[in-house]
Amino acid sequence: MFEYKNNELYAEGVRVKNIVDNVGSPVYVYSKGHFKAQFEKFNKAFSREHVIAFAIKSNSNLAVIKTFASLGAGADIVSKGELFRAIKAGVDTSKIVFSGVAKRDDEIEYALENDIMMINVESEDELYNVNRVAEKLNKKARIAFRVNPDVDPKTHPYISTGLKKNKFGVPYEEAYDLYLKAKELKNIDVYGIQFHIGSQLLDTTPIYDASVRVADLMRRLTDKGVEFRVVDVGGGVGIVYDEKTDKEPDVNLYARQIEEAFRDFDVKLVLEPGRFLVGNGGILVSKVIYHKTNGQKNFLIIDAGMNDLLRPSLYKAYHKIAPMKKTGSKAIKCDIVGPICETGDFFARDYEIEDVPNGNFIVVFSAGAYGFTMASNYNSRPRPAEVLVSGDSYRVVRERESLEDLIKGEIL
């Protein structure tokens, strides 16, 4: 839903220039239309009973969460803060699943008090802790184990999570024993099974492979009297960052494969898409401050930094970058860098882009996921505003931080 008309970028029906003129720079701009379209594409792919639990960590703005909640989505949360956000945004708590390796007692309590769908338990220590907290509250905790199917998602080492050497989940061999132990615990309701093998998967076959392995485990456990009511297949469905090399996953195929893998079980499916729903529904708009040449290298210096969008620095992630207004000036090859005093503060290196004069704007695409959520105040920079566009109108859904916000809570 970001398109050039007469060489100017529009977010749905809104000229992006209007937004930046009014709200300032840098600014995140989201397209509600894109969010809805992605949700519907994903939702329609499944024919069995399912819950789409939006992975809030990808974009946790309240207005974004609410957008999905009003379409019927639940939430995949990983902290008390994310549950707080989900509740504020009106997510039906019976559609919330809670993952994460380090759930504290107060987080487990908060989840049980709000009667969420289930807690995805990631270790034996956590199992006994959930049981203990539930006992204290006189409740029965619905749980799934996050099972580690040990399927290599062939992805970046930092975002591959389903391998034995990673901190996530319970080893496949151990899960069998843990389910039998859990069944005996008074304050545990063995409710489902979960897995998640990695992020930004463009080929979803590894998810199918994992599903088959998990279904095998379920069969063995069903024989022992474990009743599964939910299978949560995690997230990880990727998006196109680079049009030259990436191809959007076929969600219809993905859905068919998952439904096929679990055809023997009368379960509700839970899906945890995050990036797929929001990634290409967001851009970061930034002003060009200076041009500069150091030796043979050109630099386009912009007013956004790694504090605003960390992905290029942290993962060396590729983002498409283009002028907000195409003027037909000749292309330059340059590093696009920010104001932060670190060599690692860059958005692209040796990137070919139509030259953009100082004072004009550039757009970093595919910034809807893991953009603002990872923003910091590094170098004492207030975090940018977030804007949600819907049709011909837009509104600020998070105000730009002020200098006073930077020192909130500090006591001289």
Site for a copy of itself in 283-342 (CB under 8 A): 289-292, 294-297, 299, 301-303, 305, 310, 313-314, 335, 337-342
Give the one residue of 132, 154, 219, 395 binding a copy of itself; rule: CB under 8 A: 395
Q: In whole angstroms, how close is the CB of 333 to a copy of itself at the nearest point?
A: 13
Token reading at 55: 């992975």
Which bin fits 387, alpha (ψ -120 to 50), beta or left (φ > 0)?
A: beta
Phi, psi at residue 6, to the nearest 5°? 50, 45
Nearer to a copy of itself, 85 or 142 (CB): 85
342 annotated among ligand-binding-site residues: yes
CA atoms within 13 A on the CB side of 275: 20
Q: With contacts defined by CB under 8 A, how many residues of the chain interact with a copy of itself?
A: 97
Piece in contact with a copy of itself (CB under 8 A), picked from 27-35, 45-53, 58-66, 325-333? 58-66
- Asked if 411 touches a copy of itself (CB under 8 A), the answer is yes
Please report how close the Cβ of residue 189 comes to a copy of itself at its closest, in angstroms.
21
Q: Out of 21, 115, 177, 399, name the contact with a copy of itself by CB under 8 A.
A: 399
Looking at the Cβ atoms of 255 and 317, the one nearer to a copy of itself is: 317
277 CB-side CA count, 13 A: 31
Give the CA-trace dihedral at 401, 407, 409, 410, to 10 degrees: 170
Least CB distance to a copy of itself at residue 352 (A): 18
**Helix (H/G/I), strand (E/B), else coil: 186:** coil
Nearer to a copy of itself, 31 or 79 (CB): 79
Stretch that binds a copy of itself, among 29-37, 45-53, 75-83, 256-264 (CB under 8 A): 75-83
Tell me: does residue 378 bind a copy of itself (CB under 8 A). yes
Handedness of CA 200, 204, 209, 214 (dihedral sign): positive
Task: Tell me the window of 33-41, 200-208, 361-369, 376-384 that interacts with a copy of itself (CB under 8 A).
Answer: 376-384
Among 94, 252, 329, 376, binds a copy of itself (CB under 8 A): 376
Nearer to a copy of itself, 247 or 292 (CB): 292
CB 201 within 8 A of CB 249: yes
Least distance from a copy of itself to the Cβ atom of residue 251, Å:
22
By CB under 8 A, residue 5 contacts a copy of itself: no
Count other C-beta atoms under 10 Å from residue 164's C-beta: 9
Q: Which of residues 80-109 bind a copy of itself (CB under 8 A)?
A: 80-82, 84-85, 88-89, 99-104
CA distance 271 to 190: 19
Residue 8 burial (CB < 10 Å; 0-12/13-18/19+)?
Answer: middle
List active site positions. 341
Sequence-separated (6 or more) residues with CB below 8 Å from residue 85: 56, 60, 62, 65
Q: Please choose, out of 46-54, 56-64, 137-145, 236-244, the segment that lies near a copy of itself by the rule CB under 8 A.
A: 56-64
- CB nearer to a copy of itself: pick between 106 and 352: 106
CA distance 344 to 338: 9
> Burial level of 201, CB count in 10 A (0-12/13-18/19+)?
buried
Return phi, psi of residue 408, to 5°.
-55, 130
Question: Is 401 flagged in the annotation as binding?
Answer: no
**Would you count residue 379 as binding a copy of itself (CB under 8 A)?**
yes
Q: Maximum distance among all alpha carbons in the chain?
A: 71
In the complex with a copy of itself, the residue whose CB is nearer, 190 or 306, is 306
**154-183 positions binding a copy of itself, by CB under 8 A:** 157-161, 164-171
Shortest Cβ 196–a copy of itself spacing (Å): 9
* Distance in Å, CB of 21 to a copy of itself, minimum: 16
* Residue among 324, 388, 372 at smallest CA distance from 34: 388
Residue among 72, 225, 344, 391 that touches a copy of itself (CB under 8 A): 344
Among 31, 38, 59, 60, binds a copy of itself (CB under 8 A): 60
Buried b (16+ CB within 10 A) or exposed e, 272-296: bbbbbbbbbbbbbbbbbbeeeeeee
All residues at 6 or more sequence positions from 131 whose CB lies less than 8 Å from its CB, including other chains:
141, 185, 186, 187, 188
Q: Which residues pair with 333 in a beta bridge?
A: 352
Q: Which residues are annotated as a binding site for pyridoxal 5'-phosphate?
A: 236, 272-275, 370
Q: Which residues are annotated as a binding site for substrate?
A: 275, 311, 315, 342, 370
